[in-house]
Structure 1
Amino acid sequence: MLARQRQDEILAQVAAHGAVKVAGLCAALGVSDMTIRRDLKDLEDRGLVERVHGGVTLPRATSKDEPGFYAKSTRALDAKRAIAKTAATLVRPDTCIGISGGTTTHTFASELLDVPGLTVVTNSLPVADIFNDRGRDDQTILLTGGQRTPSMALVGPLTVVTLERLHLDVLFLGTHGVHVNAGLTCPNLLEAQANQAMVAASRRVVVLADHTKWGVTALASTLRLSDVDVLVTDSGLDDSAREILADNVHDLIVAPDAAGSAPDGLEHSVASSAVKEGTDDRA
């Protein structure tokens, strides 16, 4: 097999699995460790993979990488639905809530259509559309102004000025990345500023973040983990990440999967880190 053919096969395996080990590639391709390592160096030099201890992964997105709303809406669908259903139980009738831009918050909004007496403040055009399409008289939807981002959120000075005049009971906040040191991050400076204004206007902040957001750092920090009142994630988040989050946010809620339970290992996290599975009745 020629070097280019081997490298094409390596790329195919990395694309399929997200990461592959050197030993597995040697066995699959029937070549030596040294040959595989030369191939991996070549692929890394071309920016097609990122080498890690014992193997390679897909290259990390840059800190300014900002996929559009519809591209993100196809990712981690089961996780987003689980998070949305669990987070919806934190919403009380006759309250004023904020909902930021994002595909997880968009999924969450669809779970609130039957909650009576809601006032919803959002800078997300898709979120506003969900409520407006239902057209219920007992719900009030306030859409901030501003310029539109790739995530279909309205941002800029007009958005910030509007939010500075409002007072929200609870904010449900989406995020591009969650990192133990950087906190919540966003690739768009103006959207990070709008999110900060929503946080400042809110009594409590509930973050909705699926497991794929863990360890991701984008250009601008939005919020420190210690300032997060509740973080709702899905059962795909590994135990070590749960331990870290439970030690840094006030409350961590792991949404059950489609079968109604979390994977093996959650019991240890609950015992050691006060991780909450299911709902929190204090919102």
Structure 2
Amino acid sequence: MYAEERQQAIARQVATEGRLSVAQIAERFDVTTETVRRDLTALEGLGLVRRVHGGAVPGTALTTLELALGERDTANTEAKAGIARAALAQLPPAGASILLDAGSTTARFADALPAHHRLVVYTHAVSVAARLAGNPAVELHLLPGRVRPETQAAVGAVTVAAVGALRVDVAYLGANGVSADHGLSTPDSEEAATKRAFVAAAERVVALVDSSKVGVETAVRFAELDEVAALVTDAGIEPGARGALEKAGVEVVTA
């Protein structure tokens, strides 16, 4: 494996797992710890990771790295399942309408929706729609647009226009990054435009984000914190980050 290939793989694994030690990386890639430290220095210079004592965490710079949906779906699976279950407490009354974003955590939330709680659900995510198609309590609407392979979700002007015609009770959103300074963000501008339309269309916005994304900032902000009513995450969230979000008026719910 060439150095560039190894560094790209390291960046993806750090982004997926949230934190890796130098020793773990050295063992996985069968290289010396000195080589790992050089790789991490190079990746930090690109803003893809941040060096911490003994290892690395995802970069808090404006990161452009984006994992494909399949890779994200295998990361932090227990935490995401817990978030999905905890988010059920954020459901509106029966008969209400919701928007459901693309993403591995929102997909698990779709799986968790009860078969006895009637809802009108709008989504632009093919994988989310597939999970909901058999739920007898859901009146499902799949939004139009060009499907982006990385997220299996419709994006573009057609999608944004379709969302703009809606007014729903709650929008459930995923994010690649959440921070007190930068709000909710994602690396892709088309994804951001669709998420921004979701925010504008909803009476209430709930973010479903695992703790590895908290404190991370990616390139395009799609929501300010004052537009988000609640963030449902896992118990791994750092106390300082939680405090900053709550100070900004976001209700933080931990699974």
TM over 0.5: yes
After superposition, residues 1-283 of structure 1 pair within 5 angstroms as: 18-20=20-22, 42-44=38-40, 46-47=42-43, 52=51, 54-57=53-56, 60=59, 63-91=63-91, 92-132=93-133, 134=134, 136=136, 138-149=137-148, 150-255=150-255
Question: Separation in 1 of the partners of 2:52 and 2:252?
Answer: 30
Q: What amino acid is aligned across from residue 208 of structure 2 in structure 1?
A: L
Match of 1:140, SS state, is strand
Question: Separation in 1 of the partners of 2:85 and 2:58?
Answer: 32
Of all paired residues, the percent bearing the same amino acid is: 29
**What displacement does 1:118 show?**
0.8
Q: How many residues align?
A: 227
**1:281 matched residue in structure 2:** none
Which ranges of structure 1 fall in alignment gaps of 5 or more residues? 1-10, 26-35, 256-283
* Conserved 8 A contact 2:147-2:153: yes
Q: What amino acid is aligned across from residue 143 of structure 2 in structure 1?
A: T
Question: Separation in 2 of the partners of 1:119 and 1:186?
Answer: 26
**2:5 matched residue in structure 1:** none
Question: Separation in 1 of the partners of 2:139 and 2:237?
Answer: 35
Question: Separation in 1 of the partners of 2:195 and 2:77?
Answer: 23
Question: Separation in 2 of the partners of 1:154 and 1:213?
Answer: 23
1:203-237 deviation line (CA, Å, top 9, x unaligned): 00001111010121111101111221111111111
CA spacing shift, 1:249–1:101, aligned 2, 3 Å: farther
1:133-159 deviation line (CA, Å, top 9, x unaligned): x152x4211111111221111110110
- TM-score, normalised with respect to structure 1: 0.72
1:234-255 deviation line (CA, Å, top 9, x unaligned): 1111212211121123311111
CA spacing shift, 1:135–1:40, aligned 2, 3 Å: closer
CA spacing shift, 1:80–1:51, aligned 2, 3 Å: closer
Match of 1:222, SS state, is strand
Q: What amino acid is aligned across from residue 130 of structure 1 in structure 2?
A: R
The structure having more radius of gyration, on CA atoms, is 1
